[in-house]
A and B are shown apart, each in its own frame.
Chain A
Amino acid sequence: MLARKIKEKLFLVAISVATFLTILPLFHILFSVFANGLPVLMRGGIDFVTETLAPPDSELGGIGPAIVGSFVLTFLASLIGLPIAVLTGVYAAEYPNSPIGKAVKTLLLIMMEFPTILVGLFVMNILVLPMGRYSAIAGAFALAIVMMPYVAVYTEQALKEIPFVYREGAFALGLKRAVVVFKIMMSMARKGMITGILIGIAKVAGETAPLLFTAGGSARIYFAGLDQPIGAIPLLIYTLVQQPYENYHQIAWGASLVLMLIFLAIFLPLRLSIKEVKL
């Protein structure tokens, strides 16, 4: 009897420890980024966000080009990836029983887990080398490939959740299929779809590996053109962390704080307004 009671207590302790250990890193990371990054931002002021990178071992300079780069890349990636992703999701939702529909669904799930570094290599091979330069368009394309599965899966799910009744009603009214899907169902599934889109955006804004061999990185130049190299915050952090200079480490923390704030700004409201997230 006693043995069982002891096991019971131990179990409770074990479970609580497990929970604690699972969640603790998040708070530790948030705390570290804030504690290390905030002083940097305070020192740098608005210049940190607008200026260009300083030489090693000197002042802070800024991460302006990286911020602009991240926005440009995310924007372009959405431009390229969203239409394809949404329409793919529509197809999967509308024709779940067709061989292609089923295969697409599985394929999307597989692609969500695909190592992102390989996506970067792939895009390097087909875009960067032929074009002869690192470019914003290559980086955006790589990000679009990473983004597509998420948005497509969310779209498909959102459409599937609409009660059949509405579809029947729309068809009964004699509307064409295209109109039914695009006008009626998508406006009803709007919330789910926007969730998916924002999740996709939040995810690619923080991605590093796809950009390693595609975007090129840029420390001094904000935006030189679609077919020119461009910077991004995660890429900058990755490069700076590997340097030994103290000022570069500080910039890395500051940039991390900026990135974290951007991510939370998109993700938190999103997450708080929906019930469940599939990542």
Chain B
Amino acid sequence: MDLLTWTGSFGTILNPLAMAAVAVFFLAFLANFAFAIAGIRPGEVEVNADGTMVLHKTPSDFALSAMRYAVLLFLACCIGYVIGGIVMSDIEQKGILGAVGQRFVPVWIALIVTFVVSIMFKSRLGLYGKLFDSPIGMVGFGLVMFWVFTALFSSLVAPFDALDQISALRNDVPGTPTPDGEAYSHYLFGGDRLGRDVFSRMVLGSTYVLQIAPLATLFAFMVGITLGLPAGYFGGKLDTGLTFVANLVLAFPVILLFYLLVTPEIVTAGVPQYMSMVLFLFPIIFLTVLFNSRFHTQPQIRNVLVAITWVIGFTAYFSLISNADDPDGAIRFWPEAVDLFDIEGNLLIVFVSVVFVNSPTVFRIVRGITMDVKTRDYVSAATTRGEGPWYIMLWEILPNARGPLIVDFCLRIGYTTILLGTLGFFGLGLSPESPDWGSTINEGRRLLTIYPHPALPPALALMSLVLGLNLLADGLRDESLRD
């Protein structure tokens, strides 16, 4: 079998079209720029005396619509490649793009279903529904959901396992056919230094990022909220002390903190266990206080809710921090019978450091918002009603601070993704064989100028996910401001 071309048999029609679209876009962009300098502005709507409206089109308007159509044409070509890949039966005709598009079929279906359902019911979905009113938010949401679904269906999408090696295909270019009898006929994005499939590793790497980043961000928010609310609400010595500690952590350059924390020696010393002991306590405290402050006048409901929180929370907590199997583990008292899961020291330290780095920033944001919101009338009303301080913080201030917090949550997941990529880039934390994007970039960069293809897919994947999260946050900000 031959090397695959990028666009397959559809390319003969679609390639010139796509190229033309790009060329038109750039020409129109330059023309637009020239018009702007020459002082030709886009036409404005004029209202006539009889109530009709007239729009005089200027050359600038034509350049703008040319740009818009060029973008649409280009997108149509991209969709054409994917549909072509799904329709065509022979892989030589699909080309690399078509074959990749076909591997992602489960993701496309899930994306289309999500969008159709969401747009149908968007008026009933609150802030989430409003997202579908803003194009930026929709693009961001689409990018993020693409990677979420890729992570969910990664075993269907990826043709090979992350560690499968075909030594004949070391550093081979994209589209190289695999020997007979392998799981899939081609290495779509080529082979890496050890002859593993770059495409499969990129797809499987998404699971690492999408497991760690949102969860770590959530924990950072729990810590930041639990400490930031009282600091902002009570002020005084508590505030001074907590702010000092937060600034202390923030003054550490992130990379230095990682180098100090994420080393095998630190893991042997048990530091991740001790840190997780402190950090993972916060979600339990948060939920307990949350339920207690709301239902302390109805002890029965309160007791049930707090009991559920404690049973689930502490089982998970002790399962997480105690590791009976590990002879070097610092904390090993939790009986194996109720130890639900063990987390490898390396993964735990990555998780803990990411939470640790993010919490102070969340703390500062929550503290700032609390100081602002606590002067509002509804807070005084609650105080007059005789509500306790924790009720006011958690049930009056926090819900009213949700807009900026949700936006920051999205941005922070993106930032956490970048942090994870940085950790992997320096070979810290996860094992070097793991397919996560940071480690793969690190692996590929050694031979970058000669074999660029192994490092590029994970880099673009990381970029698109972070870009999607940033766009989503932007869309959410616009929509929540409009509330």
| A and B assemble together | no
